[in-house]
Amino acid sequence: MEIIETDIAIIGAGGAGLRAAIALAQTNPTLRIALISKVYPMRSHTCAAEGGAAGVIKADDSLALHFDDTVGGGDWLSDQDCVEYFVQEAPKELTQLEHWGCPWNREADGSVAVRPFGGMKKQRTWFAADKSGFHILHTLFQTTLQFESIKRYDEYFAIDLLVDDGRCQGLTALEMHSGMMKQFNAKAVIIAGGGAGRMFPFTTNGAIKTGDGMALAYRAGVPLKDMEFVQYHPTGLPNTGSLLTEACRGEGGVMLNKHGRRYLQDYGMGPETPLGKPQLKTMELGPRDRVSQAYWHEWQKGNTVTTPWGECVLLDMRHLGEKYINERLPLVRELAIAYLGVDIVKDAVPIRPVVHYMMGGISTNTKAATSLPGLYAAGECACVSLNGANRLGSNSLTELLVFGKAAALSALEHTMQAGSANAAVLREKALASQARIRELFSRPTPSDGGETLSGLRKEMMDTMEKNCGLYRTETGLKEAVSTIQSLRERYKKVSLHDKSNVFNTDLFQVLELGSMLDCASALTVSALARQESRGAHQRLDFVQRDDVNFLRHSMASYQGDALPRLDYLDVVITKSPPGVRDYSGDHK
């Protein structure tokens, strides 16, 4: 097994990982930086983000308003010291991206254009048409190319963290094209591996979003925080789950039931706005949890539209006109035509809520540090407690930048104080990691009694869809906890069809399934214990928010084969006591 010596290893080369690498290279050009990713960086899921990135830039906006929107939108589960830091850093990071070449849309006077986004009372979302994540990722990737100190390890699959003397000192990873294990010795590790939405069957998430980074930290002893909060995006294509960005509604698209009624006015989200009237009302610009939940109620009332792909509502953008749509929403038009055969210039498009984002993840503080010295995390895989119980659209792309940089600076500070590693111990742990992979190859094939990858994965997805969706019950969650735990036990017998070394996708999918099952276990146990309704976690048997008992973060800790241990951590409140989320008025 080859040993690769580096100063800081970054797992994941999407927005957060690339931003961390740039910050490290700029701050200390002598550092050795290993950028490890299971896909080529430009295939990272950041490129799928469409709508934009939030940051205060206009004269009628303020940091205080961005703070209030984020805390209220998160149903007061956001740590407010984190939110204060985030809103202050956000405009700096977005301006830095512009200096690096990100092609933000402009106003007629040349200033940066912003669009409305759900849950925000002011227009503060910077955008590049409806391909914002794509352009952000391109900009970051191209910027990394100027730094020789950043060495990329594309198509390397991280297997285990190497922990000794109470601190993270590296990792093992499989080189995918050869199947050879590599040992990375590092003074610090940053995890930027994305979310775990693929544990659900109907999701906007690409195939790579399998919670690998979350599981790495979890198994190494770092708690997963607030895993019960899973965001549904209200406007997914009903056949593929592909996202139609929130920018559709930010630019003036409206949501209709089968009667042609803008039904969101019936769910505490403001008065109806006539089509084409350029007022910024709540309505379709309500927060994602509320807008998605409204769909469920319309379905229960029989007000949805029956389609070949199930029950839907309609997203109508025809009144915007072809010229405006081609300028602001070209990708949305392309997606609707390609996957549904619907031209949004001529027809309303059927949509339904779809799993989109995980508010929970690796527990970190505002400096992106975990409880394990030497280990840091940023992006969707992390829970720095910015998003609380419900993330506001367009905060996440900015979060990648702000906390990607924070993770880099914290890791750099740690490397200056880290002691020397015990090479023999690290080697022993790396060899144990390698043995774990080899054991998979020795298991019997499915025909000889082994479990199948596809069978276990389908059972997991069906369980999560049935019991952990928009609305949850004690009965359903208990079933989910039991089923996931059974699947984790059966996973020990999962078999490989492919026993080769070169690009063994069967092996990598088995490893991904193990990560998803561990994440699903933390999610279901946390959701069962939270006996309240808050943000994206809605209980039909506990319909009210309970600040007395649950104004706190759930902390799930790995316990091997057993169910995770659940502890709680108080929410940090600096200046905004819990209040009522009011989306009934005008937002001008």
| Cα R_g (the chain), whole angstroms | 23
3-class DSSP state for residue 442?
Answer: coil
Rounded distance between C-alpha atoms, residue 564 and residue 259, angstroms: 47
- Helices and strands in the chain, H and E counts: 15, 22
Tokens read off for 200: 């659900």
φ/ψ of residue 48, rounded to 5: -85, -15
Rounded distance between C-alpha atoms, residue 127 and residue 124, angstroms: 10
Tokens read off for 544: 């009210």
Rounded distance between C-alpha atoms, residue 16 and residue 37, angstroms: 12
Label residue 347 exposed, middle or buried (CB < 10 Å: 0-12, 13-18, 19+): middle
Rounded distance between C-alpha atoms, residue 37 and residue 155, angstroms: 6
Please choose, from the candidates 235, 233, 250, 243, the residue with its C-alpha nearest in 3D space to the C-alpha of residue 120. Answer: 250
Catalytic annotation present for 233 = yes
3-class DSSP state for residue 15?
Answer: helix
DSSP class of 534: B
Catalytic annotation present for 249 = yes
Rounded distance between C-alpha atoms, residue 400 and residue 410, angstroms: 15
Please choose, from the candidates 31, 29, 23, the residue with its C-alpha nearest in 3D space to the C-alpha of residue 415. Answer: 31
Q: State the catalytic residue, choosing from 66, 135, 249, 530.
A: 249
Rounded distance between C-alpha atoms, residue 202 and residue 300, angstroms: 20
3-class DSSP state for residue 509?
Answer: helix
∠ CA 73-98-194, nearest 5°, is 50
Inter-CA distances, 278 with 126, 251, 274, 583, Å: 19, 9, 9, 18
C-beta of residue 79 within 8 angstroms of C-beta of residue 572? yes
Other CB atoms within a 10 A radius of the CB of residue 476 amount to 21
Rounded distance between C-alpha atoms, residue 536 and residue 252, angstroms: 24
Tokens read off for 197: 């939405």
Rounded distance between C-alpha atoms, residue 414 and residue 394, angstroms: 31
3-class DSSP state for residue 493?
Answer: helix
Other CB atoms within a 10 A radius of the CB of residue 397 amount to 28
Helix, strand, coil content of the chain in percent (nearest 5): 40, 20, 40
Rounded distance between C-alpha atoms, residue 58 and residue 518, angstroms: 43
φ/ψ of residue 157, rounded to 5: -105, 115
Rounded distance between C-alpha atoms, residue 528 and residue 525, angstroms: 5
Q: State the catalytic residue, choosing from 138, 233, 391, 472.
A: 233
User: Which residues belong to the active site?
Assistant: 233, 249
